Amino acid sequence: MTDLSQSPAGAAPEPRKHGGSLLEQTPRTKRRNAAEKRFRAYGIAAIAAGLVMLLILVTTIVGKGTGAFQQTFVTLEVELLESKLDKKGERNIEDIKKVTTFGYAPIIKGAMEAAVAEYGIETSLKAKELAGILSKDVAAQLRDYVIANPDQIGQTVEFRFLASSRVDGYLKGRVTRDSIVNDKNISAEQLDLVDALAAAGVLEKTFNLDFITGADASDARPEAAGIGVSMLGSLFMMLVVLALALPIGVAASIYLEEFAPQNWLTDMIEVNISNLAAVPSIVFGILGLAVFINYMHLPTSAPLVGGLVLTLMTLPTIIISTRASLKAVPPSIRDAALGVGASKMQAVFHHVLPLAAPGILTGTIIGLAQALGETAPLLLIGMVGFIASNAPETIADGLLAPNSAMPAQIYEWAKRADPAFYERAWGGIIILLLFLVTMNTLAVILRRRFERRW
């Protein structure tokens, strides 16, 4: 025991071994305490920066996306003229079907003219411009109604119509009188008409359920587009992923963890599984295109193929989390089971697996959440475009008929020309995030509820 190394010659008059008074801090202690304080400050700053980013993200998304959940509607009385819709007057459904949506234009114009007259609105707009404030979807809505209720032809029926995306934007503040100076889709006079109709109470902005349940719409009518059908596409993909990735992943991990001998082969497999988990998802998309579509001739744009591709992507995540939770079950449980005469398989399935189930479930949910938000592989198997237009009617249809998925639909909307689609893209992000938050919360709750510690 020597102090030589600690106090060089002449450092202090009195050689102190471990500091003097406890009440007084030595410079070294002060430095150490200051370093700790600084470190804590860095930590708090890092968390604060993260929270600020999150706050900016959430406010942007909510600010830009909430508009998509509201839509402008116009309530109009429409006279379903027999002379236009059923010239023969026989109410033969085939004759009625022959009138295309273009044939409904005069009826819509007439309804608008009637409304202008009824509310005493003065305007110099022509009938076509009057009808221009309504969505292009109106004709389809009317035609569907007439085909479903041919007996209503000749009657006057009240309808709730979508307003065009420009009118909707005007009510939401996205479109202003200054911004439409060069716009050929709407004029200031049409906005005057909108103001007058709003004052009369027939034009109003309300909650729009169709955005959540509806199908995609073409570029000419962004106001009619909804995310519902692509949500179904995502659902079917997740079913495929769940049905394939969970059993395969769990079986693989049980074998690797409980039965497989430790040798270079299993080591290799282990390394490769970890590598696969880090492979960029677009690679799985290319693989899916080559194997499932080009080689196996499965249909393009089908949720089944999307699900298969995402299964490949999710498998490593599930295997890794399952192996971790199997490992966490103490060996004493296996030993006890084997000790009372259970076979190895009985020990695993009756004792180890139930105890590992919460961990497996958590891993699966997180893997599914990852797969739900994935866009890149879907680009390559044809799930981006004007696709989510027909709601599937059967389960086989849901798996095989062309469909999009939520993230792919958002990507598609963000690309389109009309700014109204941009708003819907943000609205879609809100719905997608709600799903992800719900799934992750479920994973946390399950873990808290069922996790056992030894």
Partner 1 sequence: MSFVKLTASALAISAVSATAAAARDQVQVAGSSTVLPYASIVAEAFGENFDFPTPVVESGGSSAGLKRFCEGVGENTIDIANASRKIKDKEIAACAENGVTDIIEVRIGYDGIVFASDINANSFEFTPADWFLALSDKVLVDGALADNPNTTWADVNADFPAVDIQAFIPGTKHGTREVFEDKVILAGCEETGAFEAFKEANGGDEKAAEKACIALRTDGKSVDIDGDYTETLARIESNKDGIGVFGLAFYENNTDKLQVATMSGVVPSTESIATGEYPVSRPLFFYIKKAHIGVIPGLKEYAEFFVADEVAGEDGPLAEYGLVADPELADTQEAVASEAVMGGNS
Interface with partner 1 (CB under 8 A): 100-102, 136, 140, 143-144, 175, 178-185, 217-221, 240, 243-244, 246-248, 250-251, 293, 297-302, 304, 382, 384-387, 389-390, 395-396, 399-402, 414-419
Minimum CB distance to partner 1, residue 263 (Å):
27
Backbone angles phi, psi at 74, to 5 degrees: -120, 130
Our CB check for partner 1 shows the closer of 133 and 387 to be 387
Our CB check for partner 1 shows the closer of 175 and 320 to be 175
Our CB check for partner 1 shows the closer of 50 and 247 to be 247
Our CB check for partner 1 shows the closer of 202 and 252 to be 252
Cα–Cα separations (whole angstroms), residue 398 to 112, 226, 227, 304, 309: 39, 17, 15, 8, 16
- Residue 314 is given by DSSP the state H
Cα(410)–Cα(383) distance, integer angstroms:
12
200: its two tokens: 């009369």
Closest CA to 307 of 366, 381, 255: 381
Strand partners, 294: none
Minimum CB distance to partner 1, residue 271 (Å):
26
Minimum CB distance to partner 1, residue 415 (Å):
5
- Per-position DSSP letters for 219-287, written without gaps between them: TT-GGG--SHHHHHHHHHHHHHHHHHHHHHHHHHHHIIIIIS--SHHHHHHHHHHHHHHTS-HHHHHHH
Closest CA to 202 of 167, 172, 155: 167
Q: Give the list of residues 6+ apart from residue 219 with CB closer than 8 angstroms, or none.
A: 416, 417, 418, 421
42: its two tokens: 């860095």
Our CB check for partner 1 shows the closer of 234 and 404 to be 404
Our CB check for partner 1 shows the closer of 332 and 390 to be 390
> How many CA atoms within 13 Å lie on the side-chain side of 331?
2
Place of tokens 């995609």: 216
For the beta carbon of residue 3, count every other beta carbon within 10 angstroms. 11
- Indicate the pairing of strand 156-162 with strand 203-207: unpaired
Strand partners, 206: 71
Minimum CB distance to partner 1, residue 327 (Å):
20
Our CB check for partner 1 shows the closer of 76 and 302 to be 302
Would you give the distance in Å from CA 136 to the centre of its chain?
Answer: 27
Provide the residue type at 82 as one letter.
Answer: E
Place of tokens 């659902």: 235
Minimum CB distance to partner 1, residue 281 (Å):
18
Our CB check for partner 1 shows the closer of 317 and 404 to be 404
Minimum CB distance to partner 1, residue 153 (Å):
18
Cα(61)–Cα(370) distance, integer angstroms:
20
Helix (H) or strand (E) holding 348: none
Minimum CB distance to partner 1, residue 89 (Å):
22
Minimum CB distance to partner 1, residue 217 (Å):
7
Minimum CB distance to partner 1, residue 44 (Å):
33
Our CB check for partner 1 shows the closer of 108 and 180 to be 180
280: its two tokens: 């960029």
Cα(289)–Cα(306) distance, integer angstroms:
10
Minimum CB distance to partner 1, residue 396 (Å):
4
Minimum CB distance to partner 1, residue 34 (Å):
43
Our CB check for partner 1 shows the closer of 163 and 202 to be 163
For the beta carbon of residue 150, count every other beta carbon within 10 angstroms. 18
Minimum CB distance to partner 1, residue 228 (Å):
15
Cα(454)–Cα(1) distance, integer angstroms:
44
Q: Give the list of residues 6+ apart from residue 169 with CB closer than 8 angstroms, or none.
A: 175, 419, 420
Cα–Cα separations (whole angstroms), residue 191 to 73, 83, 360: 15, 32, 58
Our CB check for partner 1 shows the closer of 232 and 400 to be 400
Our CB check for partner 1 shows the closer of 204 and 299 to be 299
